[in-house]
Amino acid sequence: MEVLFIDKKIALNEGIRDKEIRLVGEAESRIIKTREALLMAREKNLDLVMISPAANPPVCRIMDYNKFLYEQSKKQKEARKNQTVTEVKEVRLSATIEEHDIEIKANNAKKFLSNDNKVKVSIRFKGRQNNYTSMGTKVFDTFLSKLEGLGVVEKAPQLEGKNMFMILSPNKKH
């Protein structure tokens, strides 16, 4: 029971420097001296763990700290396992793209959206095209009309430097 600090945020046993603490247990909560709580923890062969250092007085609990860490890591692994990762796929267009090419790019975007991926649609303006960014919004409108409601605009078309982009996310209805 010599461990003072395992985690930088959590104080254990002799690492608790406050004179009084609030000891919480299964059924009760009471304010006692830290020395008494440490003796109680040693009698039970457990650790005195500071749960909430910001409270006044700090809140502590008597528990097996290694078991607590193990349970926490199991919960984190379970949360990561249940987490779904959405990828962002990119479709690049140009300001002077033809109708047929827009259809091909839209078909690719449909595949991405049907696989529950987000799609970043971007247009890079070259040379004098930068003065005619309205052409880009027309291309985006045409592109969206080809998607037949498969995607929803998550981030509206936006110009950053020489690039204009928007982000589409899959429509939840399909």
Quick one: which of 32, 62, 64, 36 has its CA closest to 50?
A: 62
Give yes or no for residue 26 having a pLDDT over 90.
no
Average pLDDT over residues 110-120: 91
pLDDT in tens, 65-85: 888 888 888 988 988 888 777
Cβ atoms of residues 108 and 138 within 8 Å: no
CA distance 153 to 78: 32
44 inside domain: yes
pLDDT attached to residue 132 = 81
CA distance 93 to 125: 10
Range of the domain at 143: 88-170
| Together in a domain, 94 and 133 | yes
CA atoms within 13 A on the CB side of 8: 0
4 inside domain: no
Q: What is the mean pLDDT of the chain?
A: 85
8 inside domain: no
7 inside domain: no
Q: For 108-120, give one letter per residue: b (16+ CB within 10 A) or e.
A: ebbebbeeebbbb
| Together in a domain, 107 and 67 | no
pLDDT attached to residue 134 = 84
CATH value at residue 48: 3.10.20.80
pLDDT bracket for residue 9 (50, 70, 90): low
Give yes or no for residue 4 having a pLDDT over 70.
no
CA distance 125 to 123: 6
| Together in a domain, 68 and 38 | yes
Per the rule left: phi > 0, alpha: psi between -120 and 50, beta: everything else, 116 is left
pLDDT attached to residue 135 = 87
| Together in a domain, 69 and 124 | no
| Together in a domain, 93 and 166 | yes
Alpha helix stretches (DSSP H) within the chain: 34-43, 65-82, 99-114, 134-146
Give yes or no for residue 166 having a pLDDT over 90.
yes
Last residue of a domain, one of 79, 111, 133: 79
| Together in a domain, 106 and 71 | no
- Give percent of the chain with pLDDT exceeding 90: 20
Residue whose entry in the numeric block shows the structure tokens 């909430």: 52
pLDDT in tens, 35-76: 888 898 889 899 888 888 888 888 888 888 888 888 888 988
pLDDT in tens, 97-108: 899 999 999 999
